[in-house]
């Protein structure tokens, strides 16, 4: 199956008074038609900045290099007008916190209409009908009435559904979902995840799903990419990475997930905290927290290698991690 998005050596830097900080470091991955790719890692690993980098939704202090190939064109080389046509039209994004992403002084219907006006040629009446259809599609009852309501009149789950309706207004081919279920209770989480899966099938979309919840990844994604300190350290199919992790960070993340039948067993923990952008260690950024680290890890940054079909890893000691076994088996 052909790739709809091909990211090559994407790097994003932020200029600061003390120098440039690298938030996304030489990231490469591809996304296929109708595929859901899970982008996982701890807070501060670069997941959200990666999504925003794909559509150049960054502040003026940011600079980017590499390639983001979308339908044969490099988004990083597009003019601002061309980017605006792609962003929100062909590629849409669900932001992490709907309460801050939605405009509090505009009705939900008007916020959906803004997207439709920017990216479609529909008339006013057609846009109104489309907005009602979108509200129905995402499971918001009494759509005609609720289009006139404001974000504060919606519950957390309904705000998230409204965000999804806005993102889907122009029938995008790619949906970027930045932790869309983090602030929701478990029941609403499940409903939103099922909704995204249904919409992927109904609209033939591809999805990049950012989360730190590996349970969500296992339930929704086809492949996963693990990020640490701005780099992708391991990618593969869900089944393969869960069964055969080859990076110590991936193994630690898997071991920290509670499992049925192990109520009295201690969870695996990853000692320490992720490094700040201004203090990323030399060599492998994970080596200060890694049980498998050797001298080479402290001086040399590992390159990404394909160790098995569709399974890539950037680790000097991937075979030792593999031999240690998966903590979820």
Angle at 176 between CA 12 and CA 189, to 5 degrees: 125
pLDDT for 183: 64
- Angstrom distance (rounded) from CA 49 to CA 40: 13
Q: How far apart are the first and last CA of the chain?
A: 30
- Average pLDDT over all residues of the chain: 90
Per-residue pLDDT tens digits for 67-109: 999 989 999 999 999 999 999 889 999 988 888 889 999 999 9
Q: Locate the domains of the chain by residue range.
A: 247-329
pLDDT for 123: 94
How many CA atoms within 13 Å lie on the side-chain side of 187?
A: 2
Whole-model pTM?
Answer: 0.91
From the list 184, 182, 209, 6, the residue with the least C-alpha distance to 93 is: 209
> Which contiguous run of DSSP H or E holds residue 161?
helix 156-168
- Angstrom distance (rounded) from CA 28 to CA 214: 21
Per-residue pLDDT tens digits for 180-220: 877 667 777 788 888 888 888 888 899 999 988 888 899 89
- Angstrom distance (rounded) from CA 42 to CA 188: 23
Residue 240 has φ and ψ, to the nearest 5°, of -70, -45
pLDDT for 329: 67
Helix (H, G, I), strand (E, B) or coil at 11: strand
Q: Which residues partner with 68 through β-bridges?
A: 7
Per-residue pLDDT tens digits for 243-270: 999 999 999 999 877 665 556 666 677 8
pLDDT for 273: 87
């Amino acid at each position: 199956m052909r790739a709809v998005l091909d990211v090559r050596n994407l790097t994003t830097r932020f200029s600061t008074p003390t120098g440039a900080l690298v938030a996304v470091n030489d990231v490469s991955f591809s996304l296929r038609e109708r595929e859901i790719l899970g982008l996982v890692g701890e807070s501060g690993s670069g997941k959200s900045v990666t999504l925003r980098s794909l559509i150049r939704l960054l502040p003026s202090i940011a600079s980017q290099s590499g390639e983001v190939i979308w339908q044969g064109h490099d988004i990083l080389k597009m003019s601002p007008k061309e980017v605006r046509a792609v962003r929100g039209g062909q590629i849409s994004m669900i932001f992490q916190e709907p309460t801050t992403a939605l405009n509090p002084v505009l009705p939900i219907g008007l916020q959906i209409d803004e997207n439709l006006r920017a990216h479609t040629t529909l008339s006013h009446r057609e846009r109104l009908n489309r907005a009602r259809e979108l509200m129905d599609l995402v499971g918001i009852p009494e759509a005609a009435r609720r289009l006139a309501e404001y974000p504060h009149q919606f519950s957390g789950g309904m705000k998230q559904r409204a965000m999804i309706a806005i993102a889907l207004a122009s029938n995008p081919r790619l949906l970027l979902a930045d932790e869309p279920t983090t602030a929701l209770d478990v029941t609403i989480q499940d409903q939103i995840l099922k909704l995204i899966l249904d919409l992927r099938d109904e609209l033939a979309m591809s999805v990049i799903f950012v989360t730190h919840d590996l349970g969500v990844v296992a339930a929704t994604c086809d492949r996963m990419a693990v990020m640490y300190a701005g780099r992708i350290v391991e990618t593969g199919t869900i089944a393969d990475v869960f069964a055969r992790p080859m990076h110590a960070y991936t193994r630690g993340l898997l071991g920290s997930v509670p499992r049925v039948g192990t109520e009295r067993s201690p969870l695996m923990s990853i000692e320490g905290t992720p490094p700040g952008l201004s203090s990323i260690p030399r060599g492998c950024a994970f080596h200060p927290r890694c049980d498998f680290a050797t001298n080479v890890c402290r001086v040399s940054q590992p390159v990404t290698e394909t160790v098995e079909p569709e399974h890539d890893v950037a680790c000097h000691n991937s075979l030792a991690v593999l031999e240690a076994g998966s903590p979820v088996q």
